[in-house]
Amino acid sequence: MCDTIVALGSATEEGFTFFGKNSDREPDEAQNILIVPCKKHDSKETVQCSYLTIPQVPETARVLLCQPFWMFGAEMGANEYGVVIGNEAIFTKEKPDKIGLTGMDLVRLALERSRTARQALNVIIELLEKYGQGGNCGYRFKLKYMNSFLIVDKKEAYVLETVKAWWAWKKIKDVWSISNIISLQKDYDSCSEGLI
């Protein structure tokens, strides 16, 4: 099982925000530590994600990624503005599309395109609604799943849980953790239209 946890400064002795994540990827699937520099992009430039090519934004932030070596995206990462995101697989009755953005694609794209946790939350929601989620996330074995995220900066944190293009999020007050199941019930702050 994977787990991601955050403790905001309001819940820690010295007032620091703490973030942690472990990963249960396949034993022989190396994870790269990758630093991608900030960059300005041409208006017609695109970005090749794991399975989709999407338009690039005018400028991307410098990011540090913990990335399965064969994928575009990342299990977790941080950017130059102090935004940190971790991703967890969640297994639901709804099945992912054959092609879409993976949860790991969404982690990287949000880190490259945001300066705050709230902005990263909005980036993931926007991309999810536009492109959906899908594609194989297993290295040697096929593995498809939906995704949840902990999105954090030094001031605030959010939990975002997604199924297909549907989503629900909650602003975290002190501490939160996610694993491979949905953690939000009716306690979310906002959700997508039509979510049951």
What residues act catalytically?
2
Question: Could you give the CA distance from residue 69 to residue 61 in angstroms, rounded to a whole number?
Answer: 21
Q: How many CB atoms lie within 10 A of CB 59?
A: 11
Q: What percent of the chain has pLDDT over 70?
A: 99
| The dihedral formed by the CA atoms of 91, 96, 101 and 103, expressed in degrees to the nearest 10 | 0
139-193 pLDDT, tens digit each:
999 999 999 999 999 999 999 999 999 999 999 999 999 999 999 998 999 999 9
Query: pTM for this one?
Result: 0.96
> Is the pLDDT at 113 greater than 80, yes or no?
yes
Using pLDDT thresholds of 50, 70 and 90, give the confidence band for residue 195.
Answer: confident
Would you list the DSSP string of 8-40?
A: -GGGSTTS--EEEEE----TT--EEEEEE--EE
**Residue 145: its pLDDT value, please?**
94
